[in-house]
Structure 1
Amino acid sequence: MYKLKTLSLIFFLTTGLFVSTHAQEISVKTNVPYWFTATPNVGFEYVLGENLSLEFTAGFNPFKFGDTKQMKHWVIWPELRYWLYQPDSGHFFGLHGVAGQYNIGGLDLPWDRFAGLKTRRYQGSAIGVGLSYGYRWVLNDRWGIEITAGGGFARFNYDVYSLGNNGQKTGENTKNYFGPTKGALSLIYIIR
């Protein structure tokens, strides 16, 4: 927990330096499908040079959906991007991180991998790194659409609880994960 907070603070302070030097080249974005999970989210992207940009996206879901259903979490995705032609348009490749905390349970999802969420609650943290690819379409001087997909490694540390308001702790675990670590279809507003 302490490491996640320290890394987040260092990242915020570092990106603050770029904002003051490149304030005329900032994009604000939101991942539209992420809103369908009741997760408000926002991202900022700063142009660092001719072919580089730095993106920072965060999402936060504080909601509980009844006595046992919840998908509470916060997550951040910092990403350094290399644009093939110029920042803010066309193809890019990225190196991203992912970090967050979650308290999820009581959900009946259609994927077998998450079958335990129906009868248990998982509370913990995750941190990871991955590679991504994306493409941005410029709609006009101020608006754009971007699609991004990425995969990599994440490490999950969590406790397992029974469902209910007074759920009892039934276990704890650590898992290493290889697979998708980023996905977005973003609506973008460009500040120049």
Structure 2
Amino acid sequence: MKPIKYFLIAILVLTFTAPMHGQEKSYYMPRFAVKTNALYWATTTANLGFEVGLGKAWTLDVSGNYNPWKFSDHKQIKHWMVQPELRYWLCERFYGHFFGLHAHYADFNVSNLNVFGLGHHRYQGNLYGAGISYGYQWILNKRWSMEATVGVGYARINYDKYNCGHCGSKLNSGHKNYFGPTKVGINIIYVIK
């Protein structure tokens, strides 16, 4: 087996055998939360997420991102993305450690970034895939929380490559299989009871 398969099996075993501390508590747990990722805002990407409780230790998180902007020198990171995630909380939902299984889909149109080997070309296409994540959520007060999360996984990237960011003819089409970070976030959360 490949190392990634061992890692996935370990996550599944941990998810279903981890002790469920605090599950016997009788107080009311939050059912719904609205969130935004501060790291995405740093890249001028508007984003909003919703998370709903499915059980004492399970939630479903769905986030969406949108970036329609063009910058000087025809630089752009235009895209939209949706990323649903099923989460298992080791303590109770909306507090403490969690593990997640997420999927993602995005359409993109990026140009003139000159990072990661992209050069001054324009790339347009889509990506899809899945991954696993880990995170931790801190309760700040009755309604506000903060969360840090990171995920790794796979993405299939299909693209058309163009000569330059503003103009130019299509150079070629291609695809790439990507393994690596697929999720990162510092989320500010408003909890709805």
Is TM > 0.5 for Structure 1 vs Structure 2? yes
Aligned residues: 164
Deviation at 1:187, TM superposition (A): 0.4
Q: Does 1:31 align with 2:33?
A: no
Mapped partners of 2:58, 2:38: distance in 1: 24
Alignment of 1:90-169 (within 5 A): 90-109=96-115, 114-116=116-118, 118-169=119-170
Task: Tell me which amino acid in the other structure corresponds to 1:127.
Answer: Y
Mapped partners of 2:145, 2:40: distance in 1: 17
Paired-residue identity, %: 49
Mapped partners of 2:120, 2:126: distance in 1: 20
Structure 1 residues 177 and 164: CA distance shift in structure 2, 3 A:
closer
Partner secondary structure for residue 184 of structure 1? strand
5+ residue gaps in structure 2? 1-29
Mapped partners of 2:58, 2:122: distance in 1: 40
Mapped partners of 1:171, 1:108: distance in 2: 18
In structure 2, the residue matched to 1:51 is 57
Mapped partners of 1:167, 1:103: distance in 2: 14
Q: Deviation per CA, 1:64-120: give whole Å up to 9, x if none.
A: 1135211100011100000011000000000000110100010133xxxx122x320
Q: Tell which structure's C-alpha radius of gyration is larger.
A: 2
Task: Tell me which amino acid in the other structure corresponds to 1:124.
Answer: G
Task: Tell me which amino acid in the other structure corresponds to 2:81.
Answer: V
Partner secondary structure for residue 50 of structure 1? coil
In structure 2, the residue matched to 1:79 is 85
Mean CA deviation greater in 155-164 or 85-94: 155-164
Greater percentage in helix: 1
